[in-house]
Structure formats: C-alpha cells, structure tokens
C-alpha cells in the first residue's frame, strides 16, 4: 500500500483525476473474471476481520468489476483514515471509504481504504448489518476505481442504481432505501 500511496502522491491519485462515464457493468454473481482479481486484504484495524472473510470480499468486488483488477483493500482505524483523507483530499476527518485509482486499462489497479469505526457507526445508525454495509462500500470503491463518480446528479443516480442492482443480486437490501449517501458521512 505504501508504494501505491507514493504513486498517488506523484499526481496519480483519485482526487485530481477527471472521471469518465462508463457503461454500467452487468451485475453478476459468478464472474468470468474469477482468476483476474489479484486481491490484497489488509487489516490495519483488526476489529472487523471476522466480518470480512476473503472469499466474500472477493465475490463482492468481482460483481462490480468489468475488467481484470489488482486491488488492495485496507481496513483502517480512524487516525489512519483521517490522515489519508487529509493528505490526499485536504479534508481533516476520517471518512468511510477512499479510493486511490492508479490505472484503469488494460486492468484496474487501485487501493480501497475503509475506516472500520466510520463503517460501524454508519451501519449502526442505518440499522444495517455490518457486513452489508461493508459490501456496499467495497462496491462503491470498486466502481470509483473504474471511473464512476457522483459529482453530478445524473452520475450519482447512475452509480446508485448500479450499486443497488449489484447489492440486490448479491442478496443484500437496497442501501439507498435508508437515505444513505456513501460520500457524505464522516467521523470528525
């Protein structure tokens, strides 16, 4: 992850990139990309390890990927999340998910950083199972890594519709039925 952050510092980070509109991927449970996801799952904050078995994280991510990918998923505490958000987005608070996308073609290369305390607080406030909320935020980050964004209302609607379709296919409820917006919640 450190090497990946160094690349982001060199100007390849998600915050400074223009987003491109992509055709929504077809939601899938079984993927032809099974062997095309290189996944590093790291726990800087181990409190949620039992909620994120590798096989489930892999399945969730594969459902959102249109192309092969090399992804690092790191679960962190509030201080690491705050520092990363401050360093790369100039926002001095811990947020739920950060996506650092370095490459989109011919394969996606990205780091997804999820803040365990923020994810847990959001899941509790929304009365969602913790695992369902993690699945949603992992899909959200994977879509960002492929160029999806929510800066405009049409982009947000497209991304939310895709997240909802993917989560329902994976057996989870519509995350937006509770009014949740993954880009608006933080741990100050």
Classify residue 18 by burial, with Cβ atoms within 10 Å: 0-12, 13-18, 19+. Answer: exposed
* 179 lies in some domain: no
State how many domains the chain has.
1
Write out pLDDT tens, residues 123-155. 999 999 999 999 999 999 999 999 999 999 999
Q: Is pTM beyond 0.75 here?
A: yes
Please indicate, yes or no, if residue 114 is contained in any of the structural domains: yes
Asked if residue 188 belongs to a domain, the reply is no
In a domain, residue 99? The reply is yes
Establish if 75 belongs to a structural domain: yes
The H-or-E segment that residue 162 falls in is helix 153-169
Q: Is position 109 within any domain?
A: yes
- pLDDT score for 176: 84
**Residue 33 belongs to what domain range?**
2-13+28-174
Output the domain CATH number for residue 166: 3.40.390.30
- Distances 130 to 48, 50, 52, 99, 137 between C-alpha atoms, Å: 9, 11, 10, 20, 11
pLDDT digits (tens, 9 = 90+) for 67-125: 999 999 999 999 999 999 999 999 999 999 999 999 999 999 999 999 999 999 999 99
**SS3 label, residue 84:** helix
What's the chain's length in residues? 188
* Helix (DSSP H) and strand (DSSP E) numbers for the chain: 6, 6
Range 54-76 average pLDDT: 97
The total of other beta-carbon atoms located within 10 Å of residue 40's CB is: 12
């Amino acid at each position: 992850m450190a090497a990946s952050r160094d690349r982001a510092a060199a100007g390849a980070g998600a915050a400074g990139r223009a987003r491109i509109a992509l055709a929504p991927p077809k939601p899938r449970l079984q993927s032809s990309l099974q062997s095309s996801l290189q996944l590093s799952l790291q726990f800087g904050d181990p409190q949620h390890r039992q909620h994120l078995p590798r096989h489930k994280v892999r399945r969730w991510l594969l459902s959102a990927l249109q192309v092969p990918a090399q992804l690092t998923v790191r679960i962190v505490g509030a201080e690491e999340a705050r520092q990363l958000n401050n360093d790369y987005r100039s926002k001095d608070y811990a947020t739920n998910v950060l996506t650092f996308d370095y490459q989109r073609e011919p394969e996606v290369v990205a780091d997804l950083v999820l803040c365990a305390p923020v994810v847990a607080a959001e899941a509790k406030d929304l009365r969602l199972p913790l695992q369902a909320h993690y699945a949603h935020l992992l899909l959200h980050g994977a879509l960002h890594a492929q160029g999806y964004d929510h800066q405009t209302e049409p982009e947000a609607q497209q991304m939310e519709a895709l997240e909802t379709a993917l989560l329902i296919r994976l057996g989870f409820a519509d995350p937006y039925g509770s009014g949740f917006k993954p880009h608006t919640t933080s741990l100050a």
